[in-house]
Amino acid sequence: MTPAHILVIYYSAYGHVFRMAQAAAEGASEAGCRVRVVRIPEMESEKNRRVYLDKRGRSGPFPSGLDERFKPEARFKMYETALEWQKDIPIATNDDLRRADGILWGFPTYYGMMPSQVKLFLEFAGELCSQGALEGKPAGFFTSAGSIHTGHEATLLTSMVPLFHFGMIMVGLPYTENPEYLTGEAIGCSPYGASTLAGPDSSLTPDPRELLMARRLGRRVANVAAALKASGFIRHPD
């Protein structure tokens, strides 16, 4: 039997999720699976998307205090740098999802949910839902958030909902394999999936422990996919 095929599909604005995707892909590869990494593209330019609107709908600088905390100009430069890092990563298609035996999904936290880029991609993948093309395939999730308090666990949980409609089987990060997140320190990851804290201004880089747990998640999803494929449980509709 051919090795299980694992897809790592992600959207990353500032590079944090890209780094986590690389770690997850390494873990899946360690499990002996074939791995493909693809990205969900941007919908519009970051410069347009990050304009602040006041209560009257007028564009302008961030309110007093927020400019210093969020550093929009520095973030825009980081955004451009991250685009350069990812320029050779292929764009995701429905066929990528169809061919996979297991899928790792990665994206930043926007208001405790997946960003619109990912939601739109899923909506255009609706044919796969009606065909049952993802049914029985394991799914794992990784995300990034500005801080420990800005919704990374909510994003992991809410992002499972649409994938249940596709018939996927959710895979998390159990305590016994990930003692690193049983700490009082401000690091990401939880039983629901892997996460990294980017900082309010997105200036942080993923902690080695966060990358390690993303790697374990990749390996875990790959092992589940391989077992399900060997059992004949995963099917690939024509």
Domain boundaries, the chain: 5-44+85-231, 46-82
Say if CB 2 and CB 31 are below 8 A apart: no
Q: Is residue 146 pLDDT above 90, yes or no?
A: no
pLDDT-based confidence at 64, cuts 50/70/90?
low
d(CA 164, CA 171): 12
Q: Provide the percentage of residues in the chain whose pLDDT is more than 70.
A: 86
d(CA 72, CA 85): 20
Say if CB 105 and CB 137 are below 8 A apart: no
d(CA 25, CA 9): 10
Q: For residue 214, give both structure tokens.
A: 């993303």
Residue where the block lists tokens 């770690």: 23
Lowest mean pLDDT among 60-74, 76-90, 95-109: 60-74
193 or 71, which is more confident? 193
Sign of CA dihedral 34, 218, 172, 195: negative
Q: What is the pLDDT of residues 155-205, one digit of tens each?
A: 999 999 999 999 999 999 999 999 988 888 888 899 999 999 988 877 788
Question: What would the CATH number be for the domain defined by 5-44+85-231?
Answer: 3.40.50.360
The mean predicted confidence, pLDDT, of the chain is 88
Q: What is the pTM of this model?
A: 0.88
Q: For residue 236, give both structure tokens.
A: 């690939």
Enumerate residues 6+ apart whose C-beta is below 8 A from 181.
173, 187, 188, 189, 190, 209, 213
Enumerate residues 6+ apart whose C-beta is below 8 A from 138.
102, 103, 168, 169, 170, 171, 221, 224, 225, 228
